[in-house]
Amino acid sequence: MGGEFVLDASVAAKLFFIEEHSDLAAAALRVAERLIAPELLFLEIASIAAKHSRRGFASSAQGMQAVRSIVNLLDETVPLLGLAPRAFALAETHGCSVYDGAYLALAEERNVRLLTADMKLVRLARQSGLGDFMCPLAESS
């Protein structure tokens, strides 16, 4: 699997919280040579951590650890300003969220694959002719 990948929150969260396919996420990140993400990832991890903490799936300390540690997984973060126009276009044209569009826009811009566990996004990308940019976690093993 080596090479550069865009990392999305659906995979990153599996490294901090016990979720389905957490083992696959850890394995995928061990073999990825370089991980990049839009800065949006920091807020998405904070949101996931808060939900896990509120629902009793993780302690507040575990949630904060995820928020503080996510930066250590990445080789590069990319500002959202440059990704916003393409994220908008992808959302408008293909029906994904603008947030998912930011990850996909970065993958497209860098001509790399998006490592995701979001199978709805994978299906949408494939239906929209953008499947070559997808690296579904469950299919990466």
SS3 136: strand
CB 29, CB 140: distance < 8 Å: no
Residue 123's pLDDT band (cuts 50, 70, 90): very high
- Which of 54, 114, 68 has the alpha carbon at shortest distance from 90? 114
Could you tell me the CA-to-CA distances from 92 to 44, 50, 84, 88 in Å, in that order? 21, 29, 12, 6
Angle subtended by helix axes 119-127 and 84-94, to nearest 10: 80
- Residue 96 sits at φ, ψ, to 5 deg, of -80, 170
| Residue-wise pLDDT tens digits, 43-71 | 999 999 999 999 999 999 999 999 999 99
CB 67, CB 40: distance < 8 Å: no
CB 8, CB 118: distance < 8 Å: yes
Residue 22 predicted with pLDDT over 50: yes
Helix (H) or strand (E) holding 135: strand 134-136
Q: Structure tokens of 76?
A: 């590069």
Ordered by where they begin, the domains of the chain are 4-139 (3.40.50.1010)
Residue with tokens 């930011």: 102
Residue 140 predicted with pLDDT over 60: no
* Separation between Cα atoms, residue 79 and residue 104, nearest integer Å: 14
